[in-house]
Structure 1
Amino acid sequence: MQEKLIVVVCGGGNAAHVMSGLSASRENVEVRVLDVFSDEAERWTKTLGDDSIVLTVNHPDGSHDEVRGKPNFITNDASKAVPGANLIVFAVPAFAHESYFEAIKPYVKPNMIIVGMPGQPGFEFQCFSILKDIAPKCCVIVFEGLPWAARITEFGRAITVLSTKDFLNCVVIKGESKIEGDPLKPIQYLLGPHPVATKLHNFLEPTLSTKSIMHPPIMYGAWKDWDGNPLSEKPLFYQGLTEEAAELMSGMSDELLATAKAISLKKPEINLDGVIHLFDWLSKIYANEASDKSNLLQLLRTNSAFNGLLHPMKEVEPGKFMPDFTFRYLTEDVPFGVVVLKGISELAGVDTPITDKVLAWSQKMIGKEYIVGNSLCGKDVATSRAPQRYGYKSLDDFDPLL
């Protein structure tokens, strides 16, 4: 990059560690970390001291590289982090996005690039609702997932990048911004050669192809008939997948395809060619990892990428385990995934009996009310990212985001 790039990385977890270290390793980049969680910014600053963040980047052939980068500063004060920035990268889970939007709101200026990495369903609705009049004057880029799988090995100092995706789909909402050139160029510079940022037509394509529909039906299939007694071992998550759960997952994906078809009929100008069935996406992504791709059930059961992954459990006494329904598989994938999809389907006039079945059970497990019967009118819609929460009443209301 010829001109200096000022990047704000929001967060303090795995993704924020990688994005901070990686960005700081690039030439002519100023990195400011904004971490608003408790005293984490102060703790990170003290832990790192004058040292750099060390990234150990693993490669498929078994080799690894070491990348070092030191952020310019780490703060919990958005008034110090945001002014003058070119990019603001949300490298935090969906449940934390609202607090960061509120924190940066007074300091966001036109032509800033706001990046959701990952955005997850409803990021666009939340962004435009909270940032209001300034949002259309910014460029909003939303990635459908994380670029890497990574784990912190020492908070604030070291992280291991276990794997890096080859490509990563994203949506660019340029709006009224006057950014010269390709707004993806600075993001790609920070990420490096991989993953390759691949631009989709609009935000509905990745939203209606979301992987947020995977965890809730698996949890449903495993625990809907649970008798409440503790187990002596933690069950396998994907390799223990039930046939019913796979059918529900596939059915939920079918309902999203029906939603895409209904939207295309009502608004043919919206290109939704990129909306594909979950099975087709998984078959593409895990072409070499799954030994049996004959159907969705076998693809997930025989996928080496999921070997040994267990259900989220709490040890209630030595050697006795109970399911943890507070884990993100429900508490995040439902309000920031399934509920958003239900909302879009409702606006498109598509019935979703399979989604409703899974959602009704899931909301009960986490003590929430999103649907009443088959209608998205529960009291907790107000804490989700469903479009209805933000005043979207028809498909035409999506136009500023397309």
Structure 2
Amino acid sequence: MPGNVVLCVCGGGSGAHALAGLATQKGVEVRVLTLFEGEAKKWSRAVQKEEMTVVINENNRPPREVMSKPKMITKDPEEAIPDSDVIIFTVPASVHEMYFKAIAEHIGKRALIVGLPGQAGFEFQCRDILGEKASLISVMSFESLPWECRVREFGKRVEILGTKIYLTGSLIRGKSVTKPPLMTLQKFLGSQPILRQSKHFLETIIMSYSFIHPVIFYGKWKDWDGKKVNEAPLFYQGIDEPTTELLQKCSDECTAVAAAILEAAPTKANLSDVKDIHHWYMENYKNEIAEASDLFHSITTNKAYEGLKHPMEESESGMVPDFSTRYLTEDIPMGMVVLRGLAEVMGVSVPIHDMLIEWGQEKMGKEYLVDGKLTGKDIESTRCPQRYGFLSLDAILTGEKSN
């Protein structure tokens, strides 16, 4: 990898640790920007004493370790962002706005901004905050992190539990010349996952499948009687058949929205590669799934999900479900509501999405959907196209707000 490439990793969580470690080991100049001062100080102190370790678990191979040290870890955008060729967000979508606003004035016109993952509406938010500069830079948004990973010791040790085979991202190429986006990112990550570019940025929004966590949460706790439980149930591997059916119905609604967009603008929005959720699992977790005959088994026999449990609130007398989990607070306003916004523009009915959004907003004390319309008081905290004034398909495609 050419030594003159400068990568700024935004974030301080598991994904940021893994990406910073892997890219640094490839010879890239890596800067880490975390806007939380405590994280920046803690991580800086850790790498001053010793290099960071990335433990990589690969299918049917013993774990291997990669040692590296980012060049800079800071909370100051003015230190980290100028001259950065690539800026990658590895923070929750709920704080993307905070990062965009913090770095906006320091971004160079040839920069590549990447959401890893971007989650639904990443491009809408980028266009809104960066304004004219958004037409110069290039923007990529990937459907998920490349790995399942966990920080084992902050600033010192992160473990990659599983790596996806393929990872698809969208690209909106800016007017200014940039380095080859996909090739550059691939060199940061290594041979896997194999990065692929979608035919259109709406494909990544639709295939973010933000409904997965809310559906599983709903399936487990919709009939909960309020009594405390003794232990947290398994999350993915604890699903039942009715939950699987809801997942498939949500997937069907997503593909229906894609079909409507493709029919309306076949030459402007090629969404022919949008897949249903079962095919997505089979492709992305091929080496991790023991039984892929149907969606239920593709999830419950996925090794990458082993041991992962429901988010819970604990007390001395037991546990209760945590309705403040990002599985709801992020995946609904930054995911399901965005898809719902596309559906509203296209006139496509998505009753299962509606039901889940209404259930989730009640649990969170929020209001997005009112009388079947995205007019709730909390719509400004979402990334649906309606928030940004994109009220027609043409506005969504061009980024020019509807009159």
State TM-score, norm by structure 1.
Answer: 0.94
Q: How does 1:103-118 map to 2 (within 5 A)?
A: 103-118=102-117
Q: Is the 8 A contact 1:173 1:401 kept in 2?
A: no
Q: Structure 1 residue 96: deviation in Å?
A: 1.8
Q: Tell me the residue number matched to 2:230.
A: 232
Q: Structure 1 residue 176: deviation in Å?
A: 1.3
Cα deviation per residue 1:11-32 (whole Å; 9 max; x = unaligned)? 11111111112222223x3211
Q: Tell me the residue number matched to 2:334.
A: 336
C-alpha distance in 1, partners of 2:168/2:43? 31
C-alpha distance in 1, partners of 2:349/2:325? 28
C-alpha distance in 1, partners of 2:319/2:168? 38
2:114 counterpart of 1:94: no
- Which blocks of at least 5 consecutive residues in structure 1 are unaligned? none
Q: Structure 1 residue 235: deviation in Å?
A: 2.4
Amino acid at match of 2:389: G
- Which blocks of at least 5 consecutive residues in structure 2 are unaligned? none
Q: Is the 8 A contact 1:353 1:374 kept in 2?
A: no
Q: Secondary structure at the match of 2:16?
A: helix
Amino acid at match of 2:14: N
Change in Cα spacing, 1:374 to 1:291, as seen in structure 2 (3 Å) is: same
Q: How does 1:3-402 map to 2 (within 5 A)?
A: 4-27=4-27, 29-49=28-48, 51-179=50-178, 182-269=180-267, 270-287=269-286, 289-318=288-317, 320-400=318-398
C-alpha distance in 2, partners of 1:23/1:289? 24
Tell me which moved more, 235-244 or 191-200. Answer: 235-244
Aligned pairs, number: 399
Change in Cα spacing, 1:63 to 1:250, as seen in structure 2 (3 Å) is: same
Q: Structure 1 residue 61: deviation in Å?
A: 2.0
Q: Secondary structure at the match of 2:378?
A: helix
The Cα RMSD (Å) is 1.9
Q: Structure 1 residue 340: deviation in Å?
A: 0.8
Tell me which moved more, 302-311 or 146-155. Answer: 302-311
Q: Structure 1 residue 240: deviation in Å?
A: 3.0
State TM-score, norm by structure 2.
Answer: 0.94
Q: Is the 8 A contact 1:24 1:69 kept in 2?
A: yes
Change in Cα spacing, 1:262 to 1:20, as seen in structure 2 (3 Å) is: same
Q: Secondary structure at the match of 2:334?
A: helix
Q: Secondary structure at the match of 1:232?
A: coil
C-alpha distance in 2, partners of 1:281/1:251? 15
C-alpha distance in 2, partners of 1:401/1:278? 28
C-alpha distance in 2, partners of 1:366/1:142? 27
Amino acid at match of 2:185: I
Amino acid at match of 1:221: G
C-alpha distance in 2, partners of 1:214/1:317? 31
Q: Structure 1 residue 3: deviation in Å?
A: 5.4
Cα deviation per residue 1:355-390 (whole Å; 9 max; x = unaligned)? 101111011111110101211111111001111111
Q: Secondary structure at the match of 2:230?
A: coil
